[in-house]
Amino acid sequence: MNATAIAAHTLGTPFDNSYARDLTGLYVPWQPQAAPAPRWLRFNTELARQLGLDAERLSGAEGLAIFSGQTVPEGAQPIAQAYAGHQFGGFSPQLGDGRALLLGEVLDPQGRRHDIAFKGSGPTPFSRGGDGKAAVGPVLREYLISEAMHALGIPTTRTLAAVATGETVRRERPLPGAVLTRTAASHIRVGTFQFFAARQDTDRLQRLAQHVIARHDPDVAEDPVPALALLRRVMDRQAALVARWMGVGFIHGVMNTDNMTLSGETIDYGPCAFMEVHDPDTVFSSIDHHGRYAYGNQPGIAQWNLARLAEALLPLMGTDPDDAVAQATAVVNDYPALYERHWLAELRRKLGLTDLGDDTGDLALANDYLQLLHTWQVDHTLGFRALSATLRGQPEALAARFGTGQTALQAWLVRWQQRLALQPLPATEVANAMDAANPLVIPRNHLVEAALDAATHEGNLQPFEALLAAIVRPFDSAQAGTLWAEPATPEQQAGYHTFCGT
Cβ at position 169, least distance to ligand AMP in Å: 8
By the rule CB under 6 A, 167 interacts with ligand AMP: no
Which amino acid does the sequence have at 155?
A: P
User: Dmax over Cα atoms in the chain, in whole Å?
Assistant: 70
SS3 4: strand
> Are β-strands 90-92 and 134-135 bridged in parallel, bridged antiparallel, or unpaired?
unpaired
Q: Looking at 126-134, 178-186, 412-420, 426-434, which segment touches ligand AMP (CB under 6 A)?
A: 126-134
When CB distances are held under 5 to 8 angstroms depending on the partner's kind, the choice from Mg ion, ligand AMP, none that residue 98 binds is ligand AMP
Cβ at position 476, least distance to ligand AMP in Å: 32
Q: CA–CA distance from 30 to each of 120, 130, 329, 408 (Å)?
A: 13, 16, 39, 60
- The residue among 267 and 332 lying less far from ligand AMP, judged by its C-beta, is 267
Query: How many residues contact ligand AMP, by CB under 6 A?
Result: 19
Q: What is the x/- site pattern for Mg ion, positions 266-295, by CB under 5 A?
A: --x---------------------------
Footprint on residues 259-298 left by ligand AMP (CB under 6 A) = 259, 268, 270
Q: Residue 477 and residue 320: Cα distance in Å, rounded?
A: 58
Q: Looking at 90-98, 177-185, 351-359, 442-450, which segment touches ligand AMP (CB under 6 A)?
A: 90-98
| CB burial readout 143-153, b (16+ within 10 A) else e | bbbbbbbbbbe
Q: Residue 131 catalytic?
A: no
Is residue 446 within 8 A of residue 488, CB to CB? The reply is: yes
| Candidate residues 22, 54, 108, 131; the one interacting with ligand AMP per rule CB under 6 A | 131
Name all contacts of 19-22 with Cβ < 8 Å and 24+ positions apart.
Answer: 19/79, 19/81, 19/102, 19/105, 19/115, 19/186, 19/188, 19/211, 20/77, 20/79, 20/102, 20/104, 22/207, 22/210, 22/211
By the rule CB under 5 A, 157 interacts with Mg ion: no
Name the active-site residue from 97, 115, 217, 258. Answer: 258
Beta bridge partners of 15: 106
When CB distances are held under 5 to 8 angstroms depending on the partner's kind, the choice from ligand AMP, Mg ion, none that residue 77 binds is none
- Residue 421, judged by CB atoms within 10 A of its CB (0-12, 13-18, 19+), counts as exposed
By the rule CB under 6 A, 354 interacts with ligand AMP: no
Cβ at position 252, least distance to ligand AMP in Å: 11
CA angle 281, 235, 253 (to 5 degrees): 30
| Candidate residues 132, 226, 299, 487; the one interacting with ligand AMP per rule CB under 6 A | 132
Q: Where are the alpha helices (DSSP H) in 152-201?
A: 190-198
By the rule CB under 6 A, 127 interacts with ligand AMP: yes
- Residue 85, judged by CB atoms within 10 A of its CB (0-12, 13-18, 19+), counts as buried
Footprint on residues 390-449 left by Mg ion (CB under 5 A) = none
When CB distances are held under 5 to 8 angstroms depending on the partner's kind, the choice from ligand AMP, Mg ion, none that residue 350 binds is none
By the rule CB under 6 A, 377 interacts with ligand AMP: no
- The residue among 240 and 267 lying less far from ligand AMP, judged by its C-beta, is 267
SS3 485: helix
Cβ neighbours around 200 below 10 Å, total: 8
| Candidate residues 73, 75, 78, 96; the one interacting with ligand AMP per rule CB under 6 A | 96
| CB burial readout 12-32, b (16+ within 10 A) else e | bbebebbbbeebeebbbebbb
By the rule CB under 6 A, 502 interacts with ligand AMP: yes
Q: What is the x/- site pattern for ligand AMP, positions 191-220, by CB under 6 A?
A: ------------------------------
Beta bridge partners of 92: 85
SS3 15: strand
- The residue among 127 and 371 lying less far from Mg ion, judged by its C-beta, is 127
Q: What is the x/- site pattern for ligand AMP, positions 230-259, by CB under 6 A?
A: ------------------------x---xx
Which amino acid does the sequence have at 56?
A: E
Cβ at position 33, least distance to ligand AMP in Å: 12
- The residue among 147 and 268 lying less far from Mg ion, judged by its C-beta, is 268
By the rule CB under 5 A, 259 interacts with Mg ion: yes
Q: Looking at 2-10, 156-164, 221-229, 254-262, which segment touches Mg ion (CB under 5 A)?
A: 254-262
Query: How many residues contact Mg ion, by CB under 5 A?
Result: 2
Cβ at position 145, least distance to ligand AMP in Å: 14
For binding to ligand AMP (CB under 6 A), which residues are involved? 95-100, 126-127, 130-133, 254, 258-259, 268, 270, 500, 502
Residues with a catalytic annotation lie at: 258
For binding to Mg ion (CB under 5 A), which residues are involved? 259, 268
